[in-house]
Amino acid sequence: MGFWFIVTHSRSEDESKTNNQRTKGEKIIKDIHRATRKQYSAEEKIRIVLDGLRDVESIAELCRQEGIAQSIYYKWSKEFLEAGSSICLSA
């Protein structure tokens, strides 16, 4: 039991240290990404959605130029159109 227990025990300790270090590193990177992520104002979101509705260029190209994912554009577009329809229905 002595030798194999020490070898397997020390190996798992090394692996857990590596996993903890990797986890700490990943956490630091995620925190940096969160802190440096661009925050879009309501006016910017509306401008981007309206640019997409004008059909001057493809949504993919617009998103590339603005530095956003297409899924974000479509989320903003849905929110914009829902807000507009709720205003029209309440008037």
CA gap 48, 44 in Å, rounded: 6
- pLDDT for 44 beyond 90: yes
The whole-number pLDDT of residue 67 equals 93
Where do the structural domains in the chain lie, given as residue ranges?
1-37, 39-91
Q: Using an 8 Å Cβ cutoff, are 42 and 28 in contact?
A: no
Q: Using an 8 Å Cβ cutoff, are 40 and 79 in contact?
A: no
Measured over the CA atoms of residue 51, residue 56, residue 60 and residue 65, the dihedral's sign is negative
Choose which CATH entry (1.10.10, 3.40.50, 1.10.1760, 1.10.3470) describes domain 39-91: 1.10.10
pLDDT in tens, 7-34: 555 555 555 556 666 788 898 888 887 7
The whole-number pLDDT of residue 16 equals 56
